[in-house]
């Protein structure tokens, strides 16, 4: 009887699971409209007073999305004031609504978490299925990082891959 061999294990493929770069938690929101007069006008003195009275400790070690949900005209220095309040307490601060914040944090996690040199001349599979939905931009970002260094890049599972790139 012929011995069973695990061809996947013997193939030398490295599986990269993008779920491990998923943002840890949903971002907390700072909507600048809440600091404006009638949710539309920025009066500097009142804006500064409202910022000073706000409980910034609720953002301790949180990811925070800073944006304005109304069509108010917000001077650029106002974002700087909010950053000055959040920086001592927040883990990460992003400009934009919660979905753009999620995107930026996910991309940042990928850029910081994938060390290209550890994949040099390797055969890599970017995992295709998992428990969390992985957006298209995450696959694009991981590919941009890996393509210059890998021997080959594939999508899917080690037992069933879609070839994407092979170094010639």
Which pLDDT score, from 0 to 100, does residue 1 have?
66
> How many CB atoms within 10 Å of residue 5?
8
- The rounded Cα 139 to chain-centroid distance in angstroms is 12
> Which phi and psi angles does 20 have, rounded to 5°?
-70, -10
Q: Where are the domains of the chain?
A: 7-23+103-166, 28-98
Write out the chain's pLDDT in tens, 168 residues: 666 554 444 467 999 999 999 998 888 999 999 999 998 999 999 999 999 999 999 999 999 999 999 999 999 999 999 999 999 999 999 999 989 999 999 999 999 999 999 999 999 999 988 899 999 999 999 999 999 999 999 999 888 899 999 998
Query: Cβ distance 24 to 167 under 8 Å?
Result: no
The token pair at 158 is 């080690």
């Amino acid at each position: 009887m012929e011995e069973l061999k695990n061809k996947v294990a013997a193939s030398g493929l490295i599986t990269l699971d993008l779920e491990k770069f998923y943002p840890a938690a949903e971002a907390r929101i700072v909507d600048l409209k809440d600091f404006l007069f009638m949710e539309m006008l920025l009066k500097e003195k009142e804006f500064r007073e409202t910022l000073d009275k706000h409980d910034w400790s609720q953002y301790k070690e949180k990811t925070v999305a800073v944006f304005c949900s109304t069509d108010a005209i917000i001077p650029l220095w106002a974002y700087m004031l909010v950053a000055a309040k959040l920086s001592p307490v927040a883990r990460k601060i992003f400009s934009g609504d919660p979905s753009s914040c999620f995107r930026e944090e996910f991309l940042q996690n990928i850029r910081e978490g994938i060390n290209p040199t550890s994949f040099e001349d390797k055969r890599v599979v970017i995992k295709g299925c998992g428990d969390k939905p992985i957006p298209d931009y995450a696959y694009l970002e991981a590919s941009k990082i890996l393509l210059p260094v890998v021997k080959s890049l594939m999508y899917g599972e080690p037992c069933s891959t879609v070839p994407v790139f092979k170094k010639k």
